[in-house]
């Protein structure tokens, strides 16, 4: 019977240890994740305010991009959401590389 109770304690301790290790590994992975992983974790759609803040655009510029169908967006009522990938592609199209 004492063997069973010691096994129970070991299993309990092992489970606890596994949870702690999983937590530490998860935290370390998130801190040292490559850019691709961080990119994958970003939300797919950005609210209008997020696009304005992150890319320095005005409401008028966003209206122009929608009117000219330069970016993909979705409108639900008064809320407008922009496909992150589409906004990033728009900026990539206008990129000018420095002569090196």
Give the residue ranges of the chain where pLDDT is below 70: 1-12, 33-41, 100
Q: What is the pTM of this model?
A: 0.56
The full set of domain ranges for the chain reads 2-39, 42-93
What are the tens digits of pLDDT across the range 48-75? 999 999 999 999 999 999 999 999 999 9
User: No. of H helices and E strands in the chain?
Assistant: 5, 3
N-terminal to C-terminal alpha carbon distance within the chain: 76
d(CA 9, CA 15): 10
- Give domain 42-93's CATH architecture: Orthogonal Bundle (1.10)
């Amino acid at each position: 019977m004492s063997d069973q109770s010691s096994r129970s304690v070991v299993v309990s301790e092992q489970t606890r240890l596994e949870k702690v290790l999983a937590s530490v590994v998860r935290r370390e992975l998130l801190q040292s994740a490559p850019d691709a992983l961080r990119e994958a974790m970003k939300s797919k759609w950005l609210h209008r305010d997020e696009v304005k803040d992150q890319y320095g655009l005005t409401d008028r510029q966003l209206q122009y991009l929608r009117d000219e169908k330069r970016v993909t967006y979705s409108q639900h009522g008064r809320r407008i959401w922009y496909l992150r990938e589409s906004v990033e592609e728009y900026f990539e199209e206008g990129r000018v590389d420095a002569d090196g």
